[in-house]
């Protein structure tokens, strides 16, 4: 995670084959998932935001072996930066147990 503006910009262009000036945000995460950087072009220049966690790790967004690039929505990116553990897992909002009654119906 010692890469700076120019090195990360080169990774976006050459490895990801993306246009850095597109307005997209590019997230880079360290191997141990303790540090993350977000690179984007705001119209006037490159912006680089960095976050280092003192405790815990960022969520594992993808399997490094199979998929090196993942698209996230803005809300997923915000959840990732805030430390949510459910990124990319799309948990069900309700389970079958939530829909079954918890008490027997009153007999009339």
24-61, pLDDT tens digit by residue? 999 998 888 899 999 999 999 999 999 998 888 888 77
Q: How confident is the model at residue 98 (pLDDT cuts 50, 70, 90)?
A: low
Q: In what order do the strands lie in the sheet with 46-52?
A: 26-29, 35-41, 46-52
How many angstroms separate the CA atoms of 37 and 49, rounded? 5
User: Which residue reads 């995670």 in tokens?
Assistant: 1
Q: Where are the beta strands (DSSP E) in 3-99?
A: 26-29, 35-41, 46-52
Alpha helices in the chain (DSSP H): 5-10, 74-82, 96-99
Residue 85 has a pLDDT of: 67
pTM higher than 0.85: no
Parse the chain into domains and list their residue ranges: 5-89
């Amino acid at each position: 995670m010692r890469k700076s503006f120019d090195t990360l910009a080169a990774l976006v262009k050459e490895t990801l084959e993306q246009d850095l000036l597109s307005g997209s945000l590019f997230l880079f995460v360290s191997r141990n998932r303790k540090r993350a950087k977000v690179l984007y072009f705001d119209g006037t220049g490159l912006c680089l935001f960095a976050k280092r966690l003192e405790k815990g790790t960022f969520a594992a967004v993808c399997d490094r072996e199979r998929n090196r690039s993942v698209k996230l929505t803005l809300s997923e990116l915000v959840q990732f930066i805030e430390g949510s553990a459910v990124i990319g897992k799309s948990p069900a909002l309700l389970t079958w147990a939530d829909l079954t009654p918890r008490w027997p119906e009153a007999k009339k």
